[in-house]
Structure 1
Amino acid sequence: MSGGGAAFSRAGTLALVAVGVALFLAVLALIAAGEDFGGDTGNGQAHAASVGLNGYAGLVRLVEAQDYDVERSRSPRGLETTGLLVITPPTYADPEAIDELLQGRTFVGPTLVIMPKWRAMPPPPQLPPSAREKFKRGWVLLGRAFAAPWAEELPKSYRFDHRVHPKPVWPPKEPAEPLAPGRWQGMGLSGALPAAPTLFAAPAGAHEVLIRDDGGRVLAFSVNPGEGIDEDNPAYPVIFLADPDLANNYGLADPARAAAAIALVDRLADEGDIYEVTFDLTLNGFGASENLLTLAFRPPFLAATLSLMVALLIVGWRAFQRFGPPAAAAPDIAFGKRQLILNGAGLIVRARRFALLRRPYAALAARRLAERLGLARPDAQAIDAALARRLPAEEPFTRRAARLEAAQKPADILAAAQDLDDLATKLQQGQASA
């Protein structure tokens, strides 16, 4: 196996990085999607993400087809939209929360309130397998129809009695004949409801009837409690749809009912020249905290996110550019006397124990000079005598050695050692000239 070649080519490395970045972005997308990815499409509730008979996923698609900008919001911030807000509170919603929501939107944007009706449930376990196989994910069975008690606890401007026709009896009993679906008319349209019974409203305050049934009962009405309060900042209306079968998935199977649902949306949107429609899911228990990844791609954080992405691209591009020729790889452990000396010197420098070098270096210099002078032993007095004969003008060895042993600072130690080396150098030069 050759050790000189690279483990991966540049193209192979680039492919690995590209695949890793793609997978990382996919993970970020799934995290940002949160509950919207692979979430429950029914759960038996009447909300904008439900595909059951009582849900409003069909209305969401129908509004999108009318070129509105549609969003299904799981965040409380979605309730603050300046566009059209569509809420679908459950049967036992909190009237104070709904009142606070409607009051807060008086000068913010219009609101469409679709009332609850059916008690829905998933297919029971005892259902025959042949029938269960026909159910798709999110489909439900419809039970009894119920009016919402919280409508009677709203302020007078919004308050109404939510009732069932025909009036239910207790204990409940099966009628002799199935009830025929009621008929409706309004908004220039008319038709039949998909099923009986009918839910209607008896408003307590000023209101405008938009849709009635064949008995004159109110199925949809509009109120505007803030009208005339501020001429410079006009108030927005609120429409209550008492019978949701005009707008849920069950009702949208009929073109006339689908047209009526769109007519209600258009009425609220046209008054405010609005193109955004938000379907709230928080009142149905699908609220979620704000996702940090989602915030990163919204102003004002979007600029910082884009800058970071550009910086990462530049770093990645420079990582594939070589800065000069490749450096030769040195062995992990070098061999030889020179490396041994460098390692020892480095250890002494790191430890800063220079004083330990003075006496040994003086003894080493004495042996070197004795060898140059032809002496049998490195005796200091004998070296001085021999130097006096050979180099009479030079400072004696003993004086130079004493200066080295007395030095304290690294610079003084180095200078004194250099003086001893000069003696050996001059003796060698003298021998070479002789």
Structure 2
Amino acid sequence: MTGELAPVATTGAARGREAASPFGKSAVLAMLVVGFAAFVAMLYFIGTGDTGGNRGTGPAHASSNAIHGYAGLSQLLEANGYDVEKSREQSGLETSGLLVLTPTQNTDPDEFAAILEERQYQGPTLVILPKWFAIRPSGKIAEEDEDQVQDDWVQLVSSNLPGWTQDLPEPYTLETAMDPDASGATPSWGGLGLSGNLPAPTPLYAENSPNHEALVIDDKGRPLAVNVVGQPDTYFYEDAHFLTVVIEPDLLNNYGLADPTRAALALAIVEQAGYEDKQVTFDLTLVGLGGSTNLLTLAFRPPFLAATICLILAMLIVGWRAFLRFGPVAAQSQEARFGKAQLVTNGAGLIVRARRLRLLADPYVALIERKLGNALGLAKPDATTIDQALEQRLPDEEPFSNRVARLQNATKPSEVMRAAQSLSELASKTTGKSRR
């Protein structure tokens, strides 16, 4: 073919040939799903501050599965329809629902009293006093028992009095004491329409006080749980929110909830302490598990949660597209042919798509001027000289300058085409006239 290069021949086998992939689609999809889920989980747990570690030893709190912790109480409340939250921020102390505080043996009485005084105006509070000192299990574990020992198991070493409670201001002051039974028998308890036995023979109780109303007592009439009511005719007595203090933590901890009767008592205490409100917040800041707000934490909270969800969906779409595109590209036939004609066609198509037809006016006028100049024998053809020459050669034709002006002023594609066609016809007539 003259003036053109023949297109490259491609066979059907070449177009469909595709190298074998080392991975199947199922394997790639599984890797994408598992990796994406692990990445999102990592971001979430870093944002919430839950990065693992040993949660058994140390002070008792709502995330502890140890025998002296309160994870069982949290799960018990959730199972009974309560909306439970574990707060790692100071803002959690300002909830209007029931706030559960689990102070430690080293709690500062002034700081704790300030929290209780603020709670008078904010909402009900349930305080569970500390008692046990726990450590990791000591000694060698028998080989047949190793599979049964869990990471959060602890050993209760001793029980201690929270001495700081006697330094609290009135009406919060509590004189606590411990009187283990010499015979080793577990003392009984009663209150809120229930009764039973404690799990350990070392009950922690409080001395009777006119500021307190006993909810649960032991077999000797000593308070194990009280409502702080204050003195009559005082603001605290008349208007302050409820404050319930559980002196004996074995009534509510994992150790105590092993017994169904004590579990029922725990629900009764929470119900009366929170005015039957189903919103319960467990504070974790008093035991040193508080954390400052970071960007990851904010990403999973409104109003930024919406943007995070959109970002996750975008990542899923990108991952899905990558999964569908996985593997080597199949050989395809040539999309653009070689040759001058194809080059002109492609260039014209580009100009039409870009809507830049007006840029063709001046080059096309220059092209027609050269053709007319050659046909008319003009050394330096321009619009004026061409008009003068055409007036003698083709007196009935429209002047060249008028046609040029019409092309240069055209704005619509149809106008450009008509003006260009007029110049082309003039050039054809002039060339034909010259040959004759």
**Under TM normalisation by the shorter chain, which class is it?**
0.5 to 0.7
Give how far 1:102 is off. Answer: 1.6
Given candidates 150, 153, 173, the residue that maps to 1:139 is: 153
SS at match of 2:266: helix
Corresponding residue for 1:170?
A: none
Q: Secondary structure at the match of 1:105?
A: helix
Shift of 1:46: 0.9
Q: Is 1:193 paired with 2:198?
A: yes
Shift of residue 5, structure 1, vs aligned partner: 12
Structure 1-normalised TM-score? 0.65
Deviations 1:106-154 (A, max 9, x none): 1332211111111111123x42343554321311101111122332332
Aligned pairs for 1:256-275 (under 5 A) are 256-269=261-274, 272-275=275-278
1:66/1:234 Cα in 2 relative to 1: closer, same or farther (>3 Å)?
farther
Q: What secondary structure, in the 3-state scheme, does the structure 1 residue paired with 2:122 have?
A: coil
User: What are structure 1's unaligned runs of at least 5 residues?
Assistant: 7-12, 167-174, 320-328, 371-377
Tell me if structure 1 keeps the 8 A contact 2:188–2:196.
yes
The structure, 1 or 2, with the larger RCO (C-alpha pairs under 8 Å, 6+ apart) is 2
Q: Who is 1:427 aligned against?
A: 430
- Which position in structure 2 is the counterpart of 1:374? none
- Structure 2 SS opposite 1:107: helix
Aligned with residue 292 of structure 1, among 295, 298, 301: 298
Letter in 2 for 1:58: G
The answer to whether the 8 Å contact 1:44/1:52 transfers is no
Shift of the 149–2 alpha-carbon distance from structure 1 to 2, 3 Å rule, reads farther
Letter of the 2:393 partner, please give it: L
Aligned to 1:64: 78
- Give the aligned partner of residue 128 of structure 1: 141
Superposed CA RMSD? 5.4
What is the letter of the counterpart of residue 128 of structure 2? Answer: I
Alignment of 1:27-42 (within 5 A): 27-28=39-40, 31-33=43-45, 34-36=48-50, 40-42=54-56
Residues 158 and 204 of structure 1 are in contact (CA less than 8 Å); yes or no, is this contact kept in structure 2?
no
Q: What secondary structure does 2:164 align onto?
A: helix
Taking structure 1 as reference, are residues 293 and 209 closer, same or farther at Cα in structure 2, changes over 3 Å only? Answer: same
What SS does structure 1 have at the residue aligned with 2:115?
A: helix
Residues 365 and 42 of structure 1: CA distance in aligned 2, closer, same or farther (over 3 Å): farther
Report the identity percentage: 34
Q: Residues 180-237 of structure 1, C-alpha deviation per residue, up to 9 Å, x if partnerless? A: 4333333343333222333222366611122333444332221034986679x94322
Following superposition, the deviation at residue 283 of structure 1 comes to 1.8
> Offset of 1:294 from its aligned partner?
3.5
**1:76-127 C-alpha deviation (Å, 9 max, x unpaired):** 3332222222221111123333222222221332211111111111123x42
Aligned with residue 94 of structure 2, among 65, 74, 80: 80
Partner of 1:242: 247
Greater mean deviation of Cα atoms: 128-137 or 87-96: 128-137
Q: CA shift at 1:379, angstroms?
A: 5.0
1:42–1:50 contact (8 Å) kept in structure 2:
yes
Cα distance in structure 2, aligned partners of 1:390 and 1:342:
41
| Deviation for aligned residue 1:305 | 6.7
Aligned residues: 378
Offset, 1:246: 1.6
Say yes or no: does 1:154 pair with 2:159.
no
State the alpha-carbon separation in 1 of the partners of residues 122 and 188 from structure 2. Answer: 35
SS at match of 2:69: coil
Name the SS of the counterpart of 1:155 in structure 2.
coil
Q: Deviations over 1:14-37 (max 9, x none)?
A: xx9999799757754663454458
Taking the aligned partners of 2:201 and 2:52, their CA distance within structure 1 comes to 34
Distance 1:190 1:206, change over 3 A: same
Q: CA deviation at 1:362?
A: 5.8
The CA distance in 1 between the partners of 2:206 and 2:283, in whole Å, is 22
Q: Distance in 2 between matches of 1:339 and 1:203?
A: 102
For 2:343, give the aligned amino acid.
Answer: Q
- Residue matched to 2:340: 336
Partner of 1:325: none
Among 53, 68, 78, the residue aligned to 1:54: 68
Letter in 2 for 1:159: T
Are 2:253 and 1:281 aligned?
Answer: no
> Equivalent residue of 2:161, what SS?
coil
Instruction: Mark the runs of 5 or more structure 2 residues left unpaired by the alignment.
Output: 1-12, 19-24, 322-332, 410-415
Q: CA deviation at 1:307?
A: 11
Q: Which of 84, 106, 109 matches 2:120?
A: 106
Equivalent in the alignment of 2:328: none
Aligned counterparts of 2:277 and 2:113: Cα–Cα separation in 1? 23
- Residues 106 and 226, structure 1, Cα contact 8 Å, conserved in 2: no
Q: Deviations over 1:298-343 (max 9, x none)?
A: xx778x679969x98xx99xx9xxxxxxxxx995686416736986
> How many Å apart are 1:51 and its aligned residue?
1.5
So what's the TM-score if we normalise by structure 2?
0.65
Q: Which of 100, 105, 109 is the equivalent residue of 1:95?
A: 109
